[in-house]
């Protein structure tokens, strides 16, 4: 039976992937801050209020495991990269037209990259811990993902990514160890770019880097691999095939993977290779504006259960809600919980 910190979670525990939709007023508040009509203390108050709302929405929806909604992070990665020193900002080369992956600024290294004050995720965790007694998951981008907008130049051999990746692995590892020190017991490392780097980065290298990232981290470790979600659009070829079976050498107890947006394709990889690992299956399509009914979700869960033992299955969304409106995100979470309830009842009758 799924359990966390010795607490039985019951069958088919539900949770988000990580990020939750920002309240609309928080977006307005960021604008007010940018033009100088609000100060950092105003912004901090607004962010804390927004985190309370994210927790409240998840509790109200009935999720079993909560996150802080990553409300402090803008566009998933920006506020983490911002904590690194040794980077030179390269403004976005394309600012007009459709917002896409090339609309964000990039960085070049000026020297070896460090994070003198950590990545800020410890503070995210300690704050959300004060808000709820629910089990919590905390998410941190992995080194492949943090490296995405960074080109190694100064401090590194031009164009050689490996020393940069291992510096980032060490920085993330330190953050994860500190998270455990302040009480985190369930940590998810987000590596959407793991899907995109293979085969340019051999899977064995991806796994080696991941295992370095989680080395000595005494917590339940999950690995989230999706295909990217910028404005609801993926960045990669949407297949997990090149990752299997090599990815299972990653020291992760749980894999959080995207299925709903791909019509539940490639579940057979899990029956073939999954073994005794836990699968957190994406059964909510966060990239679609369509609001699933509980029965839609139940149908997807039944499809997953053809390939995974119920006691190894957690239910989640394909990816975070950072590109969704709050109303839709909240409604989708409701459908997730209701769909899980339908299938739990069916399992109990068996």
Q: Backbone phi, then psi, for 190, in 5-degree steps?
A: -100, 120
Window contacting Zn ion (CB under 5 A); options: 29-37, 209-217, 318-326, 339-347: 318-326
Q: Which is nearer to Zn ion, 203 or 323 (CB)?
A: 323
Give the burial class of 31: count Cβ atoms within 10 A of its Cβ; 0-12 exposed, 13-18 middle, 19 or more buried: exposed
CB of 238 to Zn ion, least distance (A): 12
Report the residue from 144, 226, 269, 338 that binds Zn ion according to the rule CB under 5 A. 226
Separation of alpha carbons 281 and 297, rounded Å? 11
Q: Which is nearer to Zn ion, 48 or 288 (CB)?
A: 288
Q: Are strands 3-4 and 138-141 parallel, antiparallel or unpaired?
A: unpaired
Residue whose entry in the numeric block shows the structure tokens 């006691």: 311
- Binding residues for Zn ion, total number by CB under 5 A: 3
CB of 339 to Zn ion, least distance (A): 20
Which two structure tokens, joined as six digits, stand for 221? 């470790």
Q: Which is nearer to Zn ion, 61 or 222 (CB)?
A: 222
Q: Which is nearer to Zn ion, 113 or 319 (CB)?
A: 319
Q: Which is nearer to Zn ion, 29 or 243 (CB)?
A: 243
CB of 193 to Zn ion, least distance (A): 10
Q: Which is nearer to Zn ion, 152 or 192 (CB)?
A: 192
Is residue 191 within 8 A of residue 141, CB to CB? The reply is: yes
Q: Which is nearer to Zn ion, 70 or 278 (CB)?
A: 70
Q: Which is nearer to Zn ion, 184 or 319 (CB)?
A: 319
Give the burial class of 327: count Cβ atoms within 10 A of its Cβ; 0-12 exposed, 13-18 middle, 19 or more buried: exposed
Residue whose entry in the numeric block shows the structure tokens 């394709």: 265
Window contacting Zn ion (CB under 5 A); options: 112-120, 142-150, 222-230, 232-240: 222-230
CB of 15 to Zn ion, least distance (A): 13
Q: Are strands 85-90 and 106-114 parallel, antiparallel or unpaired?
A: antiparallel
Report the residue from 298, 319, 323, 336 that binds Zn ion according to the rule CB under 5 A. 319
Give the ranges where the chain is alpha helix by DSSP (H). 24-34, 40-61, 78-81, 121-129, 143-146, 161-181, 193-197, 203-213, 268-273, 294-305, 326-349
Largest CA distance in the chain: 63
Any contact of residue 315 with Zn ion (CB under 5 A)?
Answer: no
CA-closest candidate to residue 119, choices 146, 137, 148, 98: 146
CB of 190 to Zn ion, least distance (A): 6
Residues 177-196, one symbol each (x = binds Zn ion by CB under 5 A, - = not), give ---------------x----
CB of 320 to Zn ion, least distance (A): 6
Q: Which of residues 58-87 bind Zn ion (CB under 5 A)?
A: none
Separation of alpha carbons 282 and 317, rounded Å? 4
Binding site for Zn ion (CB under 5 A): 192, 226, 319
């Amino acid at each position: 039976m799924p359990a966390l910190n010795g607490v039985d979670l019951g069958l088919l525990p539900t949770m988000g992937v990580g990020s939750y939709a920002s309240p609309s007023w928080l977006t307005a508040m960021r604008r007010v801050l940018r033009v100088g009509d609000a100060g950092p203390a105003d912004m901090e108050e607004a962010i804390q209020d927004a985190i309370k709302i994210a927790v409240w929405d998840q509790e109200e929806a009935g999720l079993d495991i909560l996150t802080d909604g990553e409300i402090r992070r803008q566009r998933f990665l920006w506020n983490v990269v911002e904590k690194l020193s040794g980077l030179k900002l390269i403004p976005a080369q394309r600012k007009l037209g459709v917002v896409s992956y090339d609309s964000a600024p990039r960085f070049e290294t000026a020297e070896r990259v460090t994070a003198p004050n950590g990545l800020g995720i410890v503070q995210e965790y300690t704050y959300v811990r004060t808000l709820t007694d629910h089990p919590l998951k905390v998410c941190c981008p992995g080194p492949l993902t943090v490296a995405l907008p960074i080109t190694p130049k100064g401090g590194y051999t031009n164009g050689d990514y490996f020393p940069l990746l291992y510096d980032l692995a060490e920085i993330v590892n330190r953050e994860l160890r500190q998270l455990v020190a302040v009480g985190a017991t369930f940590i998810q490392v987000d590596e959407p770019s793991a899907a995109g780097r293979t085969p340019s980065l051999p899977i064995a290298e991806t796994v080696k880097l991941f295992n370095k990232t989680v080395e000595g981290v005494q917590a339940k470790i999950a690995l989230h691999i999706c295909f990217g979600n910028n404005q609801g659009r993926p960045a990669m070829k949407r297949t997990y095939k090149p990752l299997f079976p090599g990815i299972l050498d990653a020291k992760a107890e749980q894999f959080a993977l995207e299925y709903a947006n791909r019509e539940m394709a490639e579940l057979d990889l899990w029956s073939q290779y999954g073994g005794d690992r836990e699968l957190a299956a994406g059964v909510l399509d966060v990239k679609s504006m369509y609001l699933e009914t509980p029965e839609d979700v139940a149908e997807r869960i039944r499809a997953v259960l053809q390939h995974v033992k119920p006691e190894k299955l957690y239910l989640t969304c394909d990816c975070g809600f950072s590109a969704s409106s709050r109303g839709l995100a909240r409604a989708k979470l409701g459908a997730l919980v209701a769909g899980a309830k339908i299938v739990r009842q069916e399992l109990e009758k068996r």
